[in-house]
Structure 1
Amino acid sequence: MQLKKHKKLIVSILILVCVISLILAYFFNHSINTIVNIIVISFILAYTLSPIRDALEAKLKVSKRAASIIVIAMIIGIIITCIIVIVPDLFNEIHNISNIFDNINSFLEEVTLKYNLNNSFVINVIYNQVLEKGNAIWISFSESAVDNLIKFSDNIISFAIIPIMIYYFLCDGSKIYNKSLLLLPTEKRAITKKILKDIDSVLTRYIASQLLLSGVVGVLTFVLLLALKVKFPLWISILNAILNIIPYFGPIFGAIPAVIVALLDSPVKALWVIVGMFVIQQLEGDILAPKMTGDSTDMHPFVIIILLITGDNFGGLIGMVLVVPIAVIIKVLYDDINYYLF
């Protein structure tokens, strides 16, 4: 009996040491960091795509492997299409970026002359500050874009592995899940299954609500940009829909590319885009999102906003995407542990 007690203690200590070692290795070893990131990103994407796989499997009456291949092929096809279609156009438009500052300059000059503001010291200071800040933002953006392009090139092999990992998670996710449960003591498996089932149920509702919101925002953005004759309406709408996965703040981030592209034509068009995107943001943020996101996570909208600010401070854009699902998991764990164990 004493030996058995010591054995459990030794096993617990070894597990704790392994976990701490992995955490330290993740933060201080680049190779371990890359491997863990690939696994985590692949798992998150596979989990998000699993409902599509299930739908294809049921509708087309194919095997799970065939449905997984179709899903991966669709995603790769969309990415390749984006690269082939949009990237050349973007590079062509980069030559016109300088027109933004020319357009803004002409617009401000026109306004100052029309309303006789050119003799105002305050207006001249604001005018110079706007141009100076605009140039600084453009230089910073250019440097950041080049750095990100270099980082992407360095990690292109790692990114190429992600579709393969997603495929195996989609195909053999249930097998991996069952094998992982075998690592636990027999008496803990039933409770663990119940907790994981509850987490899966809540996360599925959350993901479904966010995808629906993203679809609505994408369609509204597409209609707005078509009406205003802004370039790249489809791709900007898709980008806005993707960024809308971030509750509340997503439409704000998604509006930036639309405004920049509209500025290529004229500041007036950009102002109309800002107004239109603001209306969409109010519709999504004040009417749809609080109800749908709050119901799907069983959290008050105020709590979700605090979580988003926290996620932004710790992990930037990715942190804002992941913080609410992580909070949902923690909440379900807390509720279930209290229910099942206490």
Structure 2
Amino acid sequence: MNLFKKYKSKLVIVLSIIFLSVLILAYLLNDSIKGIINILVISFMLSYSVSPIRDSIESRFKIKKSIASLLIIFIILGACVTCTIVIIPALIKEVSNIGIIFDNIGSFLEKLSVKLKISSFPAINVIYNEVLERGNTIFLNLSKSLVNNFLLIAENLISCAVIPIIVYYFLCDGEKIYNNILLLLPTEKRALTKKILKDIDNVLGRYIVSQLVLSAIIGGLTFILLIVFKVKFPIWISILNAIFNIIPYFGPIFGGIPAIIVALLDSPIKAIWITIGIFLIQQIEGNILSPKITGDSTDMHPIVIIILLLIGDKFGGFLGMIIAVPIGVIIKVLYDDINYYLF
């Protein structure tokens, strides 16, 4: 028994490594297991993101965690149903008109090439043709991606229906699951592990919530701007800008480009006004909203964040850029806590 206690920590580490290795291998080789793990990961991320809202509801209205969790689930389901009834039909209608906008872009570029007499300059003509070819490729890939995503959602509708149930149990019993996992560690390591995980939770939770709030505000402001100037596809562009805004520094730039391009197809004057509007929104976000909402949640130098974003883009594309900073936050907290508690 004493021998078991002596080597318990090493045994747990070895078994954990073996378990994770088998899990990763199964994820890569088996589609069924991959689907299950994806559902669990999505459910965990959703529950983690909304847990501060649950805590706020629980403390403000003095209700049980289970009831607060149930209210959160109903809110999420209500938002999904509202999106399905109100937003989705509008999105589908806008999708059907995307081809028109690409035709307009082609016509605009063709008129521009005639005015500038691009055909007289071989080098510029090659670049122009390359741009057109790349544009057509992007359009085809976008169309295929949209169709594939709709089909994927339809195929996995039952699996998606399970997510709210799993999210509910994560919200209700997440602390119990967390404590049971800690029991696998040696007694003397649990207190330190709890402190480190609590620090990670505080910093990461603050960062995620602040980014989601900022993105929602930016999406709303962009939608108002596009409606005021009667720019086409306001819902799509607003959602796109909100999603891009999750990425620090680069996101607002990427998110503003589609709005300017679509406005330019209507008139250059409208494009100028949209450019000014997007610039003002970014200034409001960067100088007013972000300091108040986000504060110094990451406590990382801007150069470090930019490097993380570049690494994320290299290895995971857009999704890599979204998760790069949270991963960087976790690593930084681990580094700071290990230095503080152990050295």
Residue in structure 2 matched with residue 179 of structure 1 by the alignment: 180
Please list every run of 5 or more consecutive structure 1 residues that lacks an aligned counterpart in the other structure: none
Q: Judge conservation of contact 1:290–1:301 (CA < 8 Å) in 2.
A: no
Aligned partners of 2:65, 2:53: CA distance in 1, in Å? 11
Residue in structure 2 matched with residue 86 of structure 1 by the alignment: 87
Residue in structure 1 matched with residue 331 of structure 2 by the alignment: 330
Supply the AA of the counterpart residue of 2:120: F
Alignment of 1:306-317 (within 5 A): 306-317=307-318
Cα distance, 1:82 vs structure 2: 1.5
Please list every run of 5 or more consecutive structure 2 residues that lacks an aligned counterpart in the other structure: none
Aligned partners of 1:295, 1:334: CA distance in 2, in Å? 18
- Is 1:214 the counterpart of 2:215? The answer is yes
Q: Which moved more, 1:24-33 or 1:128-137?
A: 128-137
- Is 1:188 the counterpart of 2:202? The answer is no
Aligned partners of 1:3, 1:186: CA distance in 2, in Å? 14
TM-score (norm 2): 0.83
Q: Judge conservation of contact 1:96–1:264 (CA < 8 Å) in 2.
A: no
Residue in structure 1 matched with residue 120 of structure 2 by the alignment: 121
Aligned partners of 1:277, 1:73: CA distance in 2, in Å? 34
Q: Judge conservation of contact 1:103–1:263 (CA < 8 Å) in 2.
A: no
Supply the AA of the counterpart residue of 2:165: I
1:276–1:121 CA distance, 2 compared to 1 (3 A):
farther
Alignment of 1:54-203 (within 5 A): 54-104=55-105, 107=108, 117=116, 121-122=120-121, 131-203=132-204
Q: Secondary structure at the match of 1:296?
A: coil
Residue in structure 1 matched with residue 26 of structure 2 by the alignment: 25
Supply the AA of the counterpart residue of 1:167: Y
- Is 1:50 the counterpart of 2:51? The answer is yes
Cα distance, 1:269 vs structure 2: 3.9
Aligned partners of 1:54, 1:309: CA distance in 2, in Å? 35
Aligned partners of 1:252, 1:317: CA distance in 2, in Å? 14
Q: Judge conservation of contact 1:215–1:241 (CA < 8 Å) in 2.
A: yes
Q: Secondary structure at the match of 1:295?
A: coil
Aligned partners of 2:152, 2:281: CA distance in 1, in Å? 34
RMSD: 3.3
Q: Secondary structure at the match of 2:296?
A: helix
Residue deviations 1:222-252 (CA, integer Å, cap 9, x gap) = 3321321224545643443243222223224
1:227–1:12 CA distance, 2 compared to 1 (3 A):
closer
Total equivalences in the alignment: 340
Residue deviations 1:290-321 (CA, integer Å, cap 9, x gap) = 99768211100111111112112222222222
Q: Judge conservation of contact 1:57–1:63 (CA < 8 Å) in 2.
A: yes
Q: Which moved more, 1:140-149 or 1:325-334?
A: 140-149
Aligned partners of 2:285, 2:155: CA distance in 1, in Å? 38
Cα distance, 1:195 vs structure 2: 0.9
1:290–1:63 CA distance, 2 compared to 1 (3 A):
closer
Residue deviations 1:82-105 (CA, integer Å, cap 9, x gap) = 222222223333443343245345
Aligned partners of 1:32, 1:335: CA distance in 2, in Å? 35
Q: Judge conservation of contact 1:107–1:267 (CA < 8 Å) in 2.
A: no
Q: Judge conservation of contact 1:53–1:68 (CA < 8 Å) in 2.
A: yes
1:257–1:58 CA distance, 2 compared to 1 (3 A):
farther
Q: Secondary structure at the match of 1:184?
A: coil
Q: Secondary structure at the match of 2:139?
A: helix
Aligned partners of 2:272, 2:250: CA distance in 1, in Å? 20
1:68–1:243 CA distance, 2 compared to 1 (3 A):
farther
1:80–1:269 CA distance, 2 compared to 1 (3 A):
farther
Cα distance, 1:253 vs structure 2: 4.1
Q: Judge conservation of contact 1:56–1:67 (CA < 8 Å) in 2.
A: yes
Supply the AA of the counterpart residue of 2:230: K
Q: Judge conservation of contact 1:100–1:263 (CA < 8 Å) in 2.
A: no
Aligned partners of 2:293, 2:55: CA distance in 1, in Å? 23
Residue in structure 1 matched with residue 244 of structure 2 by the alignment: 243
Aligned partners of 2:289, 2:315: CA distance in 1, in Å? 27
1:77–1:94 CA distance, 2 compared to 1 (3 A):
same
Aligned partners of 2:59, 2:46: CA distance in 1, in Å? 20
Q: Judge conservation of contact 1:217–1:280 (CA < 8 Å) in 2.
A: yes
Supply the AA of the counterpart residue of 1:338: N
TM-score (norm 1): 0.83
